[in-house]
């Protein structure tokens, strides 16, 4: 048993060596080398290599309708193993002629292997039609419908792309769009419409899948490449299923439509100088917000073109320079609609005018010309001149053509001067915070000081000997006949009064009587008056003695 | 620190002299970023913007220079120079009486000096009050009261003279005024670069501006710059 296993292993190894040893090739095949325009044919690249990826050439002259399709198969015949892989494309030719399809290639173990090149001839009327192909070709077609057969340059045309389906078709797709030459085109927003209609003797589905507005800008004939669409067409295979129903299959099919022959006429000669290219049924309007202003009001002027025509490429005339006003850059507004009716809407410039001088100013006449399609003639719109009046008393009176002289003399000197040169920056330390904080602290101290003034003078009262000290000072002054002795006596009395909450400056007899009783109060009042008197008129020594005695008496009470 | 700032200012001046106004502007801007508000600094910034042809920004900076030093005659000259070259002719707005008083006081003394003066009077008041309480009992209260009152008046003047301004200036080529804070609303006015107005209030990206003639309009906030930095 072990021996048989070993033999099988050796055989397998031998087979694999044989397989690897064979030559690797890549071949290109074409289902037809001579084809008709719009005829779908298949190009297949086949290789026996097990590894590597087939890289197709650039199908420059052809349109890939479907693909790529990949397939692979392995065969063992008489012990010989072979494998094939293939890559297929369904393509269609774009134009007539002889074309060489470049080689495809595959890279295996770092080695590049190229296929053969294919020579394909494309001619009209070559198509060999079998029943299925005939049926597929007749299953649908495509046309471009034009709204007009002849137009002027700048006159819009509506083109409708229509597919007529006689059999079930799926995956309809544009593979080549008509690139119209020398036109502006706009795709119109429209729903895809389909409806049933009898075409010839068949009932067909009409499918409008695209609408475009074309605006030719060069005279001649509308030109461009064909429209090509592709679809999967359902055709019978000729076989029947278990229930005896015909078996169907989908095959790719391409249909093309030529550009409709539309003549583009140039506009007649003799266009006026105001003509700026407007074609259609248009009109020009001028709107003025107010013709008379007072105070600092402004004026708004709108210049608007509206109607039906090539509005999107037509220029709105500009407001000419107006004496006496500052004219700001205009605001542009437009509302242009593209539809099957053509191009409609408006576009306008909105100017803001700010009066600079007082007076009346003429808004000049405007002439604007367009080509009227109804009459096939140039038509000129004229907007007559108008007058704007500025009554602002703060503004200077208008002086036409002498704007510069309106500048005051002192300003003229500045106009002639240059700006002053740079200044030296003083980088002194920023003391702002310090100053602020310092001020706040000082304010707090000031507040405390004022509060302190209101508080009783306890610091003096704390001194228990102040009575003796004051009394001794007075006695000493009197014994030495000091000139300020009565001042010192008054000072001592004031100290005593302050203790009772009295102020010597505004003392009255009644206050003293109320505080100390009538006799003492009277005595204190008398003594104060004597002291005041003695400060200005000298008294005799006997009066000194009596006053001193009176002081000693009342000092005990005070 | 002062040396560092002086170095930046010197290099900015050197760049200005060589005609490299944008580079000089960036140097001066670094000083502004350091919260250094000095009339001469804004004057120099205004000069850079003038040389670069950005007259709206130049006007803002000359106005700032005057705001911080109302007697800066060179700033007034350069502002007049710029005003003659901007096309905006809408009436300049007038600020309130308080603003005029503030400017007058500032032209006499800078706010800091008013504060220092007030501080001197506070110190004098404190000295008198202490003296009255300790040494001169008979000293009347009227003197410290007078000095304290003067100190308070000077403090109020110092407070009033701090630069304040509600004015704003258009720094873009032009700015469109709308009736509501929305560009879908009616267009009321278009102001050119250098046009000014009083900022009344701000709402999202919009500023409500009042003009000298009393009219108001909403503008894009980013197209305007306040004079007060």
Q: What is the pLDDT of residues A141-157, one digit of tens each?
A: 888 888 888 888 888 88
User: Can you spell out the DSSP letters for A501-558?
Assistant: T--GGG--HHHHHHHH-HHHHHHHHHHHHHHHHHHHS---HHHHHHHHHHHHHHHHH-
For the segment A136-143, the average pLDDT, to the nearest whole number, is: 82
* Chain A residue nearest residue B154, CA to CA: A439
Domain check: are B57 and B80 in the same one? Answer: yes
CB-based contacts of A367: which residues, under 8 Å, 6+ apart?
A272, A274, A380, A381, A382, A383
Domain check: are B52 and B33 in the same one? Answer: yes
Q: Nearest-CA distance from A530 to chain B in Å?
A: 19
> Which residue range(s) make up the domain with B154?
99-160
pLDDT, tens only, A387-408: 888 877 666 655 444 333 344 4
Q: Nearest-CA distance from B169 to chain A in Å?
A: 18
Domain check: are B144 and B180 in the same one? Answer: no
Q: What is the pLDDT of residue A220?
A: 85
Q: Nearest-CA distance from A229 to chain B in Å?
A: 45
Q: What is the pLDDT of residue A401?
A: 42
Given an 8 Å threshold on Cβ–Cβ distance, is A425 in contact with B119? no
Task: Give the alpha-carbon dihedral of A305, A311, A313, A317, to 10 degrees.
Answer: 0
Given an 8 Å threshold on Cβ–Cβ distance, is A354 in contact with B89? yes
> Can you tell me whether residue A428 is helix, strand or coil?
coil
Chain A residues closer than 8 Å to B118 by CB: 439
Contact predicate A343/A311, CB 8 Å: yes
For the segment A470-493, the average pLDDT, to the nearest whole number, is: 84
Domain's final residue, options B160, B182, B198: B160
ipTM, 2 dp:
0.78
Q: Nearest-CA distance from B221 to chain A in Å?
A: 20
Domain check: are B132 and B195 in the same one? Answer: no
On the question of pLDDT at A74 being above 50, the answer is yes
Beta-strand relationship, B174-178 and A299-309: unpaired
Given an 8 Å threshold on Cβ–Cβ distance, is B133 in contact with A445? no
- B156 inside domain: yes
Domain check: are B176 and B145 in the same one? Answer: no
Question: Hey, what are B218's tokens?
Answer: 């909403």
Q: How confident is the model at residue A223 (pLDDT cuts 50, 70, 90)?
A: confident
Q: Which residue has the higher pLDDT, A1 or B204?
A: B204
* Chain B residue nearest residue A491, CA to CA: B138
High-pLDDT (> 90) share of chain A, %: 2
Residue with tokens 């405390």: A448
Given an 8 Å threshold on Cβ–Cβ distance, is B40 in contact with A328? no
Edge-first strand listing for the sheet containing A263-265: A150-152, A263-265, A220-221
Task: Give the alpha-carbon dihedral of A240, A241, A242, A244, to 10 degrees.
Answer: -40
Q: What is the pLDDT of residue A14?
A: 46
Q: Which helix (H) or strand (E) holds A278?
A: strand A275-288
Cα–Cα distance between A250 and A323 in angstroms, integer?
Answer: 76
- B116 inside domain: yes
Domain check: are B176 and B144 in the same one? Answer: no
Q: What is the pLDDT of residue A413?
A: 59
Domain's final residue, options B55, B85, B115: B85
Q: Nearest-CA distance from B98 to chain A in Å?
A: 22
Domain's final residue, options B23, B53, B85: B85
Domain check: are B81 and B14 in the same one? Answer: yes
* Chain A residue nearest residue B155, CA to CA: A439
* Chain B residue nearest residue A299, CA to CA: B189
Lowest mean pLDDT among A2-6, A472-476, B46-50: A2-6
Mean pLDDT for chain A? 79
- B37 inside domain: yes
Lowest mean pLDDT among A384-388, A409-413, A489-493: A409-413
Cα–Cα distance between A315 and A132 in angstroms, integer?
Answer: 57
Question: Hey, what are B186's tokens?
Answer: 């009616």
Q: Which residue has the higher pLDDT, A536 or A197?
A: A197
- Which CATH number covers residue B207? 2.30.30.40
Q: Could you count the other beta carbons within 10 Å of the beta carbon of residue B57?
A: 23
- B53 inside domain: yes
Q: What is the largest CA-CA distance in chain A?
A: 171
Domain check: are B196 and B144 in the same one? Answer: no
Q: How confident is the model at residue A321 (pLDDT cuts 50, 70, 90)?
A: low
On the question of pLDDT at A261 being above 80, the answer is yes
**Which residue out of B4, B30, B115, B161 would a mutagenesis test of the A interface target, given it has the greatest number of A Cβ atoms within 10 Å?**
B115
For the segment A178-187, the average pLDDT, to the nearest whole number, is: 80
Q: What is the pLDDT of residue A457?
A: 64
CB-based contacts of A380: which residues, under 8 Å, 6+ apart?
A272, A274, A367, A368, A369
On the question of pLDDT at B156 being above 90, the answer is yes
> Can you tell me whether residue A496 is helix, strand or coil?
helix
Domain check: are B33 and B77 in the same one? Answer: yes
Chain A residues closer than 8 Å to B189 by CB: 298, 352
Cα–Cα distance between A383 and A87 in angstroms, integer?
Answer: 72
Q: What is the pLDDT of residue A407?
A: 44
Domain check: are B131 and B195 in the same one? Answer: no
| A68 upstream amide cis, omega within 30 of 0 | yes
On the question of pLDDT at B46 being above 90, the answer is yes
Chain B residues closer than 8 Å to A428 by CB: 2
Q: What is the pLDDT of residue A467?
A: 76
Residue with tokens 């003279």: B161
Q: What is the pLDDT of residue A541?
A: 60
Residue A157's nearest CA partner among A209, A213, A210 is A213
Quote the Cα angle for A205-A208-A212, to 5°: 165
- B93 inside domain: no
For the segment A363-377, the average pLDDT, to the nearest whole number, is: 87
Q: Which helix (H) or strand (E) holds A458?
A: helix A458-461
The number of folded domains in chain B is: 3
- B115 inside domain: yes
Q: What is the pLDDT of residue B119?
A: 93
* Chain A residue nearest residue B39, CA to CA: A425
Please provide the distance, in angstroms rounded to a whole number, between the alpha carbons at the two ends of chain A: 148
- Which CATH number covers residue B49? 1.25.40.10
* Chain A residue nearest residue B44, CA to CA: A422
Cα–Cα distance between B66 and A4 in angstroms, integer?
Answer: 111
Chain A residues closer than 8 Å to B41 by CB: 425
Question: Hey, what are A346's tokens?
Answer: 């408006």
Domain check: are B50 and B32 in the same one? Answer: yes
Give the ranges where A167-279 is alpha helix by DSSP (H): none
Chain A residues closer than 8 Å to B151 by CB: 446
pLDDT, tens only, A7-58: 555 554 444 444 444 578 888 988 877 887 777 888 899 988 877 888 888 8
Q: Is B118 on the interface with A (CB under 8 A)?
A: yes
On the question of pLDDT at B95 being above 80, the answer is no
Lowest mean pLDDT among A4-8, A205-209, A367-371: A4-8
Q: Is B146 on the interface with A (CB under 8 A)?
A: no
Output helix, strand, coil percentages for chain B, rounded to the nearest 5. Answer: 55, 15, 30
- Could you tell me which residues are beta bridge partners of residue A69? A88
Chain A residues closer than 8 Å to B134 by CB: 459
- B76 inside domain: yes
High-pLDDT (> 70) share of chain B, %: 96
Please provide the distance, in angstroms rounded to a whole number, between the alpha carbons at the two ends of chain B: 22
Given an 8 Å threshold on Cβ–Cβ distance, is B81 in contact with A419? yes
Q: What is the pLDDT of residue B117?
A: 93
Question: Hey, what are A17's tokens?
Answer: 């060596």
Output helix, strand, coil percentages for chain A, rounded to the nearest 5. Answer: 25, 40, 35
Given an 8 Å threshold on Cβ–Cβ distance, is B129 in contact with A422? no
Given an 8 Å threshold on Cβ–Cβ distance, is B5 in contact with A407? no
* Chain B residue nearest residue A457, CA to CA: B133
Mean pLDDT for chain B? 87
Given an 8 Å threshold on Cβ–Cβ distance, is B141 in contact with A453? yes
- B92 inside domain: no
Cα–Cα distance between A166 and A233 in angstroms, integer?
Answer: 10
Contact predicate A144/A212, CB 8 Å: no
Chain B residues closer than 8 Å to A328 by CB: 174, 190, 192
Q: Could you count the other beta carbons within 10 Å of the beta carbon of residue A322?
A: 17
Given an 8 Å threshold on Cβ–Cβ distance, is A422 in contact with B13? yes
Q: What is the pLDDT of residue A129?
A: 58
Contact predicate B110/B104, CB 8 Å: no
| Partner-chain residue, chosen from B119, B130, B187, that has the shortest CB–CB distance to A442 | B119
Domain check: are B156 and B169 in the same one? Answer: no
Q: What is the pLDDT of residue A236?
A: 79
**Which residue out of B1, B127, B129 would a mutagenesis test of the A interface target, given it has the greatest number of A Cβ atoms within 10 Å?**
B129
Q: How confident is the model at residue A243 (pLDDT cuts 50, 70, 90)?
A: confident
Q: What is the pLDDT of residue A16?
A: 46
Contact predicate B144/B128, CB 8 Å: yes
Cα–Cα distance between A365 and A286 in angstroms, integer?
Answer: 11
Q: What is the pLDDT of residue B62?
A: 94
Contact predicate B152/B205, CB 8 Å: no
Q: What is the pLDDT of residue A130?
A: 63
Q: What is the pLDDT of residue A549?
A: 84
Q: What is the pLDDT of residue A187?
A: 81
Given an 8 Å threshold on Cβ–Cβ distance, is B123 in contact with A442? yes
On the question of pLDDT at B76 being above 50, the answer is yes
pLDDT, tens only, A440-461: 999 999 999 988 888 776 554 4
For the segment A257-270, the average pLDDT, to the nearest whole number, is: 86
Q: Is B9 on the interface with A (CB under 8 A)?
A: yes
* Chain B residue nearest residue A451, CA to CA: B129
Q: Is B186 on the interface with A (CB under 8 A)?
A: no
Given an 8 Å threshold on Cβ–Cβ distance, is B112 in contact with A435? yes
Q: Which residue has the higher pLDDT, A223 or A256?
A: A256
On the question of pLDDT at A3 being above 80, the answer is no
Question: Hey, what are A137's tokens?
Answer: 């070709």
């Amino acid at each position: 048993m072990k021996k048989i296993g070993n033999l099988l292993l050796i055989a397998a190894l031998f087979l694999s060596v044989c397989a690897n040893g064979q030559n690797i090739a890549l071949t290109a095949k074409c289902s037809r080398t001579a084809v008709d325009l719009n005829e779908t044919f298949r190009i297949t690249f086949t290789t026996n290599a097990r590894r590597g990826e087939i890289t197709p050439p650039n199908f420059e002259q052809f349109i890939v309708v479907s693909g790529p399709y990949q397939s692979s198969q392995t065969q063992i015949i008489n012990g010989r193993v072979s494998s094939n892989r293939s890559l297929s494309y369904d393509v269609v030719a774009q134009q007539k002629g002889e074309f060489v399809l470049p080689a495809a290639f595959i890279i295996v173990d770092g080695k590049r292997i190229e296929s053969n090149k294919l020579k394909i001839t494309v001619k009209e009327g070559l198509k060999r039609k079998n029943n299925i192909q005939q049926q597929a070709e007749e299953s649908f077609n495509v046309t471009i419908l034009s709204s007009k057969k002849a137009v002027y340059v700048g006159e819009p045309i509506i083109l409708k792309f229509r597919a007529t389906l006689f059999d079930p078709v799926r995956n309809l797709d544009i593979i080549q769009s008509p690139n119209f030459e020398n036109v502006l085109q706009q795709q119109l927003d429209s729903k895809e419409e389909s409806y049933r209609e009898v075409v010839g003797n068949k009932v067909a589905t009409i499918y409008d899948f695209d609408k475009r507005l074309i605006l030719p800008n060069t005279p001649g004939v509308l030109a461009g490449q064909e429209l090509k669409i592709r679809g999967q067409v359902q055709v019978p295979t000729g076989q029947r299923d278990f229930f005896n129903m015909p078996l169907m299959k989908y095959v790719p099919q391409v249909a093309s439509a030529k550009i409709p022959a539309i003549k583009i006429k140039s506009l007649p000669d003799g266009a006026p100088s105001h003509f700026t290219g407007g074609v259609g049924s248009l009109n020009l309007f001028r709107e003025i917000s107010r013709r008379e202003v007072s105070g600092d009001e402004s004026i708004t002027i709108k210049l608007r073109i509206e109607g039906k025509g090539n509005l999107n490429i037509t220029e709105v005339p500009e407001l000419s320079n107006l004496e006496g006003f500052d004219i700001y850059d205009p605001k542009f507004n437009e509302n242009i609609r593209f539809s099957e009716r053509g191009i409609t809407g408006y576009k306008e410039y909105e100017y803001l005018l700010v009066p600079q001088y007082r007076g009346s100013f003429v808004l000049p006449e405007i002439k604007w010309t367009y080509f009227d399609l109804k009459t096939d003639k140039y038509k000129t719109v004229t907007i007559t001149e108008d007058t704007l009046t500025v009554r602002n008393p703060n503004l200077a009176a208008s002086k036409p053509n002498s704007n510069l002289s309106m500048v005051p003399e002192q300003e003229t000197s500045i106009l002639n001067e240059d700006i002053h040169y740079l200044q030296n920056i003083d980088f002194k330390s920023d003391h702002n915070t310090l100053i602020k904080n310092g001020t706040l602290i000082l304010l707090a101290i000031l507040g405390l000081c004022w509060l302190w003034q209101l508080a009783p003078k306890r610091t003096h009262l704390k001194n228990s000997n102040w009575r003796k000290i004051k009394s001794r000072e007075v006695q000493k002054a009197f014994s030495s006949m000091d000139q300020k002795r009565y001042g010192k006596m008054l000072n001592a009395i004031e100290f005593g009064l302050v203790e009772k909450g009295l102020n010597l400056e505004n003392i009255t007899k009644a206050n003293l009587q109320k505080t100390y009783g009538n006799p003492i109060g009277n005595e204190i009042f008398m003594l104060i008056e004597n002291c005041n008197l003695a400060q200005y008129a000298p008294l005799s020594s006997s009066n000194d003695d009596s006053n001193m005695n009176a002081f000693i008496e009342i000092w005990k009470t005070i | 620190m002062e040396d560092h700032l002086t170095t930046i200012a010197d290099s900015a001046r050197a760049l200005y002299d060589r005609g490299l106004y944008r580079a000089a502007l960036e140097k001066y801007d670094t000083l502004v970023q350091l919260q250094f508000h000095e009339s001469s600094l804004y004057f120099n910034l205004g000069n850079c913007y003038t040389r670069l042809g950005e007259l709206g920004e130049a006007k803002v900076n000359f106005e700032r220079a005057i705001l911080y030093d109302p007697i800066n005659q060179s700033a007034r000259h350069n502002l007049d120079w710029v005003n003659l070259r901007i096309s905006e002719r809408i009436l300049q707005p007038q600020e309130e009486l308080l603003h005029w008083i503030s400017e007058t006081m500032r032209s006499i003394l800078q706010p800091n000096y008013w504060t220092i003066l007030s501080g001197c009077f506070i110190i004098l008041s404190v000295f008198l009050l202490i003296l009255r309480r300790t040494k001169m009992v008979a000293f009347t209260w009227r003197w410290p009261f007078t000095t304290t009152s003067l100190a308070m008046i000077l403090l109020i003047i110092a407070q009033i003279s701090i630069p304040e301004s509600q004015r704003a200036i258009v720094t873009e080529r032009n700015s469109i005024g709308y009736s509501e804070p929305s560009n879908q609303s009616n267009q009321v006015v278009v102001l050119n670069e250098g046009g000014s107005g009083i900022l009344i209030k701000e709402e999202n990206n919009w500023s409500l501006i009042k003009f000298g003639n009393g009219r108001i309009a909403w503008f894009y906030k980013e197209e305007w710059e306040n004079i007060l930095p």
